[in-house]
Structure formats: C-alpha cells, structure tokens
Amino acid sequence: MSRLVIISNRLPVTINKKDGELFYYPSAGGLATGLSSMDKSIEQLWIGWPGGNIEDKKEKKEIKDQLANDGLVPVFLSEKDIELYYEGFSNKVVWPHFHYFTQFTNYNNHSYWSAYERVNNKFMEVLKEHLRDDDVVWVHDYQLMLLPALIRTFNPNTEIGFFLHIPFPSYEIFRTLPWREELLEGLLGADQIGFHTYDYMRHFLSAAYRIAGFEHNFGKINVGQRIVNVDVFPMGIDYEKYAFPERYLDGEHFENTISRLTSKGRKLILSIDRLDYTKGIPQRIKAFEKFIKKNPQYHGKVTLLLIVVPSRSKVDQYQELKNEVDTLVGKVDGQFRTFGWSPIQYFYRSFPFQELTAIYKAADIALITPLRDGMNLVAKEFVASKEVSKKGVLILSEMAGASNELTDALIVNPRDITDMEEALEKAMEMSLEEQAERLTKMQHRLKKYTVKHWAETFLTELSQMSVLKSSNEINELNEDSKFQLLSDYKNAKNRLILLDYDGTLVSFKPEPHLAKPDAEVLALLEGLRDSEANKLVIISGRDKDTLGDWLGHLDLEMSAEHGVWRFQKSNWELAHGITNSWKKDIRPVLEAMVERTPGSFIEEKDYSIAWHYRKIDKALGEKRIREFRDVLLYLTANLDLQVLEGNKVVEVKNSGVNKGNATLKWVNSSDWDFILAIGDDNTDEDIFKALPDFGYSIKVGRDKTAAKYSLFGVKKVRALLKELVEIKVT
C-alpha cells in the first residue's frame, strides 16, 4: 500500500523547553486522537509544528532524530511565524471569518497574509525532502489551505486530500475576504476536499462557482484537466475509549473521582469548552441564571460545572471574554449562593483524560451550546460516556456540526436564552425511559461512525477517486493522436472541416454580442479556407445576421440556428418546412422566466428563441428550468418544437432541425478523405454522431461525449488549428 503522509499545523507531540531541557507531551485535540487510532499496518509519516520556538541547531537535530523514531517530522517556526501566521492570519483572520465573527476579522494586515504564504511554503519545503511518488498526502485544516496547490505544482501526480475541521462560511461571508481567490485556488489543488456537514460543503461549492467559476456535478468539480471530489465526512470519536474509560485508567481513582462529584446528591450540569468567543459561554451562564431564577425548587439541588480551558490569553478579545465570564459567574454566585450551596463550580483550566471522563460519567446534563462550531466532539464524548448507565441528557446547539447527527439531543438556538433555559427545565424533568431512548439512538450512530471509520472512509473515497479518474479517463487528443491527425490532414486531397463557434473558437462572454471574433480567429479561419483541399464550415446556434456580420466576408460556408439556415455561395437558404409562427406562444413563457430571474435574458433569432442564464447562479437557472419545463414541454409537443439545453442556455426551435442533419448534408456532398469536427456543448453531439468512422471528432471540455477525442479549452483548439494552417501540402 502507499504511504500516508499526514500534514497538520501541530504534530501529535508537543515539545516544551524548561530549564534547558526538552520535554515531550501528547498534543491535545480531536485530530491527534483520531488519527492515532488508524490502522497501524499503513505506513505513516506525520509532518507538523512541534510547538514552541526552537532556534538552537543542536536541539533541532535532537528533536528531528527523536521524532523520526515515531514517524514524525517537525516544521520549526520562528517567533515571527507564530505571531503572524498562527496567531495572526490563522486566528485573527480565518478563524473569526469562517465562524461568522466578522467584527473580529482583521482584513487589512497584509503582513499576516505574507506570513501565511511563507509558512505554507515552509511546510512544502519540508515535504519535498520526504515525498515519494506513490505517497498519499492528507492535509488538515485552515492553517494550511494553500498547501494542496503547492504540492500539486511540485508533483502533479501526487494523490492529495484536504479536510477542513472548522465551518466553511456562506458565499456572502466568504466573498468579503480579500484573499478569497488565493484560498480557493490553494484548496482546489487537492483531489478530494472534506467537510463535517453538507452545509459547509454546499457553501464551498457555491464559492468555488461564484468566485472562481468552477461548476460542479454532484460535488465533483472540473479544475482544468482534473476532477476534484468535494464531500461530507462527519468526524467521529474513539467510542470505546469514552464508553469504557476504566479499561484504560486506574479504575479505583476513576471511581473515587465520580463518587466525589456525586456525593452531595445534586444534579450536575456540565459545560466544558475552550475559552473562545465562538463557544457561547456567556450565553449559557445567562441561561442557567434564568433557569435558577425561574425554578426556585431547584435551589441547592443543581450545580453548573463550568470548565473553561485557557486559550489565546494574549489576544484582546479573549482577555475581554475571560473578564466577562468571571463577572457573570460572580454575579450568579453572589445572587444565589448559600452556606451549603454554590450554584456554579468554575474551573479555568484543562483536565486530564482520567478526570474528564469521570466528569462525563457523573454529569446528568451536558450543556454544549457553541455559537458556531465545525463539529464539537465533546457532545459525542458525553453521549458515549453514558453507554452503561443510559442516564443523561444532551442539550446541543443547532450551530454545532454534531447537531446534524445527534438529532435526539435537545437542540437549541445558542443565542436564545429562553430556548436554552426551557431546555434545561425539560432536561431536569425528563424521565429515565426517555433519556435511555434518546441516548440509545445517538449511541448506535456513534458506535458505527467512529473516528477510525471517518479516516478510513475519507481515504477509501480518495483512493476510489484515483481509480475513477483512470477508468473514466477522457480520451484527450495527446501527442500521438495529434500526430496521426496532422499526418492524415497533410496527405488528404479533399477535406471537410466543421467548427462550432461559441465555446470552441471563442470563449463564452457575459453578453452574446461580446464574443465577436478577434484577429487570431479570423486569421486561422482565413488560413484554413485558403487551402484548395479544404471546405471550411461554421456550424453554430447563432443567428444568421450575427454570423453574416462577423464571418460573411471570409467566403465560408455556414449553418445558423442549429441548422435552420445554410449559407452557400453568399446566400442564406432556409431549411424545408420551417416556421416561426409558434414564437408568439413560447415568448410569454420565456419572458416570465426573465421577470423572475434578474440577470437572465432572451435572445430571439429568426426561427428560434433562447433563454440565457450565463450571468446568474447556475443553480438558480436550473431551478427556473425545472419550474417551467412542464409548460415548455406541453407547448412544444403541441407545436412540433423541441427544447435544447445547452451551456447555460435553453433554446426552443423547430423539431427535426439540428446540427446533425445540417452536418449530413455536407458529409454527403462529396467524397471526402479527411473530416474534422470540433464543438463544445450538447448540441454539437449531433455533429459527432453524423460523421463517418474515419472522421476526427473533438469535444471541447471534460463532459462525456460521442467525440473520439477531447481538448481542454479554446486556447488548445486554436493551437491545433494553427498547426493545420502551417502544414504546407506538397
């Protein structure tokens, strides 16, 4: 099997220096815990920052050698890196912005962005020293969003996965970030991008399309010649570890801790979070205060165990938050405390695993109400801890990613104090039968979808993407195929060349009239026309007047409106049996679509009408098509018309008229010994199907096609035509 290279901001080991001596500690956090449970038979290498600022060369070598024994590779960061890249761009720009706290986002510190670029490149330089050709690289989280593209540039064939452990914001929020395009470009260097929830995935796909122009089909994005898979992979926990912690710990100490917590017989409400403005800690203290005020019968019978883990204590917002929490705790304590009862037990510190799992076991209610959270594994850990007792109630914020899975929790709006207070009342009064029923349902899911399952599913799907790419490989016109095409062209005496216009010779423009041919296109067409062996034909959906204005002077043969009109010997001929009397019935339907869809527009041709939605969101355009499809199909069936769906356009025209029928007239008009057809959308498929077996057909783009070959983009089409023009027949 391929080696797995994991890259994250932090290694699973943290190094601290005290009195000149280096100390190694396990890193806290779900990622380190989760990936440590993966199948050990897979060879792994983990690259990341070991913590602290190590400058001494001897110490760096000592650390490298020590960590290498465990398959770990350090990336050493300077104090400046830590200040500007980690505390700066990562935690003062990306973190607040992606969590919807834009008031805390620093949009104007470009030294932060420079440091972010520099450190992502620093990670790349370390990876270069270790990367093998067959490695699978898995990059993690918001600190390294530029890294996938850097890896792709260094080694285009590397299999790359990326997972974002925090929310991805809506397009309207993401678009305000000055570095939005660079971040998207960085992420799209991956073969697969994973998110915790469908909402985050949907937001990313919307941003990729509306900012960078990348469309997707069921979560698969075409990026140049690559397909990027975007999917949902909810992260789980090591269920057994939290369901049966006594198996991993000193059982006696564990039980003593539980006894101490439950000795006074009070209901225990647990709130545990890192100190962060995204966690909603002040709101839950206020909700508890309201609960105590409203329910005096619970005075002395319930305690809020408030655990706040220190974080980013040097940042102003966090210092202010700490002061606010301290003040609120003091207020509630001052109001309700009695000689034998303190309503809130407040701890501003972290707890080791042994004590933390004992607290989970002892708690009757978990109050987990972040204002915004990528997943929140604490909620899952609490539920798992009730595996044996089946006693306990989880109150969970609807803004936590975990709420999509733990639907049997009491789901609350974390900004609605009354909603949380009422949930506390319901939790206190919930029967043991209902508690057991809710917990059992949630535990069933958590047992199945563990962190090991999460990692294996992500990597399996990444591997399948690689297989899919090879099995569905588009037959690109490679050098060998092109050599044969050019050779056949050179040796032929009677050639037919059929070219679509929009999307083939000229890129799509916001307005159809902006796609006027430039000097290069005109020169290519003239060059192909001037060869005595060539018959050059433009087959387009354009109206005849536009084609005539743009290309009529070139003395070419043309087909307009998908075969309605044929241009030969300087005259336009109308196909047999064509009428346009039906347009009065269809026009109101398309006008209604325009009225309901600002930014779309109608293009009326002699014998067809097209509704364009190239300037609006593709999803909205497709929604409108679905809404009006039944009406259009009913009308067109009665009027002997057909509906064509092209590239962000719907066109209604006479039935039986298409580019394929137009093509056959030219194909059957002579004994050709070389035929070439190039087109880009669904309407051009009829051209490809009409060619004889010896003809060369080329699709522009990555879509499935009846064409023999594909080219990726207008530039490559022009390059091929230039090579044809340059061939001199002897």
What is the per-residue pLDDT across 387-432, written as a single tens digit (0 to 9) for each?
999 999 999 999 999 999 999 999 999 999 999 999 999 999 999 9
| Distance separating alpha carbons of residues 344 and 96, to the nearest angstrom | 29
Decide if 54 is inside a domain: yes
The CATH number of whichever domain residue 212 belongs to comes to: 3.40.50.2000
Decide if 462 is inside a domain: no
Average pLDDT over residues 297-304: 95
Task: Supply 480's token pair.
Answer: 């060998």
Say whether pLDDT at 468 is over 70: no
Residues taking part in catalysis: 500
Is residue 149 within 8 Å of residue 185, measured between CB atoms?
A: yes
- Is residue 598 located within the same domain as residue 571? no
Residue 591 dihedral angles phi and psi, to the nearest 5°? -65, -35
The CATH number of whichever domain residue 652 belongs to comes to: 3.30.70.1020
DSSP string, 592-614: HHHHHSBTBEEEE-SSEEEEE-T
- Is residue 40 located within the same domain as residue 70? yes
Decide if 458 is inside a domain: no
| Distance separating alpha carbons of residues 414 and 637, to the nearest angstrom | 53
Banded model confidence at residue 86, pLDDT cuts 50, 70, 90: very high
Q: Which tens digit of pLDDT belongs to each residue from 180-212?
A: 999 999 999 999 999 999 999 999 999 998 888
Of 365, 257, 354, 259, nearest to 303 (Cα)? 365
Of 104, 77, 81, nearest to 315 (Cα)? 104
| Domain with 596 in it | 579-656
Least confident of 273-277, 510-514, 523-527, 545-549: 510-514
In the prediction, which pLDDT does 154 show? 95
Decide if 169 is inside a domain: yes
- Is residue 605 located within the same domain as residue 536? no
Is residue 508 within 8 Å of residue 469, measured between CB atoms?
A: no
What is the percent of the chain with per-residue pLDDT over 90, rounded to a whole number? 63
Say whether pLDDT at 224 is over 90: no
- Is residue 501 located within the same domain as residue 518? yes
In this structure, how many other beta carbons lie within 10 angstroms of the beta carbon of residue 293?
A: 12
Say whether pLDDT at 471 is over 60: no
| Distance separating alpha carbons of residues 725 and 399, to the nearest angstrom | 61
Decide if 467 is inside a domain: no
- Is residue 284 located within the same domain as residue 205? no
| Distance separating alpha carbons of residues 602 and 604, to the nearest angstrom | 6
Q: Which tens digit of pLDDT belongs to each residue from 257-289?
A: 787 887 678 999 999 999 999 999 999 999 999
Say whether pLDDT at 221 is over 70: yes
In the prediction, which pLDDT does 661 show? 87
3-state helix, strand, coil in the chain (%, to 5): 45, 20, 35
Decide if 117 is inside a domain: yes
Is residue 90 within 8 Å of residue 49, measured between CB atoms?
A: no
Banded model confidence at residue 470, pLDDT cuts 50, 70, 90: low
Say whether pLDDT at 621 is over 90: no
| Single residue among 656, 684, 713 that ends a domain in this structure | 656
Q: Strand, helix or coil at 75?
A: coil
| Distance separating alpha carbons of residues 384 and 425, to the nearest angstrom | 23
Banded model confidence at residue 612, pLDDT cuts 50, 70, 90: confident
- Is residue 263 located within the same domain as residue 294? yes
In the prediction, which pLDDT does 34 show? 64
In the prediction, which pLDDT does 466 show? 73
- Is residue 85 located within the same domain as residue 183? yes
- Is residue 589 located within the same domain as residue 494? no
Say whether pLDDT at 15 is over 60: yes
Say whether pLDDT at 543 is over 60: yes
Average pLDDT over residues 607-632: 79
Say whether pLDDT at 375 is over 70: yes
Helices (H), 159-249: 171-174, 180-187, 198-212, 239-243
Query: Highest mean pLDDT range out of 36-40, 235-239, 568-572, 594-598?
Result: 235-239
pTM assigned to the model: 0.77
Banded model confidence at residue 55, pLDDT cuts 50, 70, 90: confident
Task: Supply 347's token pair.
Answer: 């701890």
In the prediction, which pLDDT does 48 show? 95
Scan for tokens 């029923």, then name that residue: 437
Average pLDDT over residues 466-485: 77
Average pLDDT over residues 316-322: 88
DSSP 8-state class, residue 575: P
Scan for tokens 């001596």, then name that residue: 21
Q: Which residues contact 68 (CB under 8 A, 6 or more apart)?
A: none
| Single residue among 656, 686, 703 that ends a domain in this structure | 656
Of 458, 459, 308, nearest to 378 (Cα)? 308
* Greater model confidence, 603 or 282: 282
In the prediction, which pLDDT does 29 show? 63
| Distance separating alpha carbons of residues 273 and 100, to the nearest angstrom | 19
**Number of domains making up the chain:** 4
- Is residue 553 located within the same domain as residue 614? no
In the prediction, which pLDDT does 117 show? 98
Decide if 461 is inside a domain: no
| Single residue among 189, 208, 232 that ends a domain in this structure | 232
- Is residue 142 located within the same domain as residue 255? no
Q: Which residues contact 573 (CB under 8 A, 6 or more apart)?
A: 565, 566, 567
Decide if 464 is inside a domain: no
The CATH number of whichever domain residue 529 belongs to comes to: 3.40.50.1000
- Is residue 544 located within the same domain as residue 663? yes
Point out which residues pair with 566 in neighbouring strands.
559, 573
Say whether pLDDT at 342 is over 90: yes
- Is residue 75 located within the same domain as residue 87? yes
| Distance separating alpha carbons of residues 697 and 677, to the nearest angstrom | 5
In this structure, how many other beta carbons lie within 10 angstroms of the beta carbon of residue 640?
A: 12
Q: Strand, helix or coil at 274?
A: strand
In the prediction, which pLDDT does 149 show? 96
In the prediction, which pLDDT does 656 show? 74
In the prediction, which pLDDT does 509 show? 80
DSSP 8-state class, residue 179: T
